[in-house]
Structure 1
Amino acid sequence: MSGVGGEPDFDADATEEADATEDAGAVKKAEGTEGTEGADGTADTMDLRLPDELLALIAEEETEPSGSGRTDNQDSAVSLAPPTATPRADLRMPYDDLLDGVAEWGPAATPGGLFHLVPVRMERDLPLISRWMNDPAAAEFWKLSGSASVTEDHVRDQLAGDGRSVPCVGVLDGTPMSYWEIYRADLDPLARHYAARPHDTGVHLLVGAVADRGRGLGSTLLRAVADLVLARRPSCARVIAEPDIRNTPSVAAFLTAGFRFSAEVDLPDKRAALMVRDRSLRHLL
């Protein structure tokens, strides 16, 4: 489902083998220049422990309600008590998701600010998400404009599922500003349209506020979320997206975020660009 301006995404690929050959060559060429990698293709990292004083300070800041947040481009209907001020127990899904606990992934530092993925709570988030879906740029691709019940039905279908898709609000420096769907692409109907691999993880993105679009923020957040997926899901080798091929800004944002174009695929509701971010190439793209 979705793109940066807003749109759902699916994808499939008959050219995966050629892409994989090129990817392998790129990785081999880069060998010895990107740090040490393990046999499974993941980069070795050092386990560093932060000082107790710094950990305490971080914990204090994360539990403190943010009344300031971002003041530039802030949506007028956004509450001053952002979702990140909600107790941790309130962020959990009503079931164990199949994505290694999205609610527990934690924040990501980005050039645009500190970013959190916060699982949707309908009573809290529906009015804001519904208003975003009624923006003309979003409505063209997401097709969820109209009364709040249209968006509610779409989101409830995911919340009532078995954990293969987790709808989230993206919170940047304390301000809710985007809608995300993190999903198991290999367990999704999308898998019938491309050469899916176990634990492929898909992303859909809608940047809510018009002022946050067209300035590179979408690609910044896409890269951050793809990095989160690969860091928190060691079994996942690829992050997948399938924006509508007509949504040029969305496709461009994925390319800028380190995804590669894999194929054009015909899906039930659109012709999509299958975009792939490979674990093995994440330091190169």
Structure 2
Amino acid sequence: MPVDFAAAGLDRRPFISEGLQLREIDLAADIALLHRWFGLEYAGFWGLQHKTEHEVHALYAALVQSGHAMAYTGLMDGEPAFLVECYDPAHDVLGQHYRVMPGDVGMHFFVGPPRQPRHGHTRRVFRVLMRFIFERLRARRVVVEPDLRNDKVHVLNREMGFAYRGTVQLPDKLAALALCTREGFFQAQREESIP
């Protein structure tokens, strides 16, 4: 069964793990900051560098109202620090490139510039996001389609337990298709913790 992001029964309380908190995006409070983040040089793979703040707001308003996707703002020490979009791949162009299964949740994430660089920060954020998707959204698999040229995220994906399934040509990029099961994620975390 696909995740119904508009369902009244979906737990909408903030999700807290490893000292980080996830809450649904607040369009009034978050968009100006997200717009600044997306203009940064390293945000090139996100594809929104040339969008106006109004265009970013419209994009996220449409995403939230779609019923088959949601954006969540991640907080660290009470301040916005990262963003994740979760979506039903059956309602996305990606769903035309692989066999969508019940319980699949597509994911994009962006980590804002930290106030103080912290070793392992992005890995910590990624772990929390994966736990959120598996535990709160009850996903069976997380599906990602990063740009083939984004070497850094491919390393992180493999560390989280993603299995790569080839490449797909999407309208805006040549992407790698990768999937991670609940078991694959938790196994990868156990292996990482073994000295």
Q: With the length of structure 1 as denominator, give the TM-score of the two structures.
A: 0.58
- State which structure, 1 or 2, has the greater radius of gyration over its C-alpha atoms: 1
**Superposition pairs of residues 26-45 of structure 1, within 5 angstroms:** none
Name the structure 1 match of 2:20.
115
**Cα shift readout 1:120-165 (whole Å, capped 9, x = no counterpart):** 1211111100000100110x2222124212312221221221x211
- State how far apart, in whole Å, the 2-side matches of 1:184 and 1:150 are: 22
Q: 1:157 to 1:252 in 2, by over 3 A?
A: same
Name the structure 1 match of 2:13.
104
**Cα shift readout 1:152-180 (whole Å, capped 9, x = no counterpart):** 2221221221x211111111232211121
Give the letter aligned to residue 188 of structure 1.
D
Q: Give aligned-pair identity as a percent.
A: 26
Name the structure 1 match of 2:60.
155
- Say whether 1:129 aligns with 2:34: yes
**Cα shift readout 1:13-42 (whole Å, capped 9, x = no counterpart):** xxxxxxxxxxxxxxxxxxxxxxxxxxxxxx
RMSD: 2.4
Which of 233, 252, 255 aligns to 2:158? It is 255
Q: 1:158 to 1:250 in 2, by over 3 A?
A: same
Give the letter aligned to residue 197 of structure 1.
M
- State how far apart, in whole Å, the 2-side matches of 1:273 and 1:214 are: 28
- State how far apart, in whole Å, the 2-side matches of 1:103 and 1:201 are: 17
The Cα shift of 1:208 comes to 1.1
The Cα shift of 1:205 comes to 0.7
Higher relative contact order (CA 8 A, sep 6+): 1
> Which ranges of structure 2 fall in alignment gaps of 5 or more residues?
189-195
Q: 1:205 to 1:184 in 2, by over 3 A?
A: same
> Which ranges of structure 1 fall in alignment gaps of 5 or more residues?
1-94
Contact 1:178–1:205 (8 Å) recurs in 2: yes
Which of 61, 84, 93 aligns to 1:189? It is 93
Name the structure 2 match of 1:7.
none
- State how far apart, in whole Å, the 2-side matches of 1:99 and 1:193 are: 31
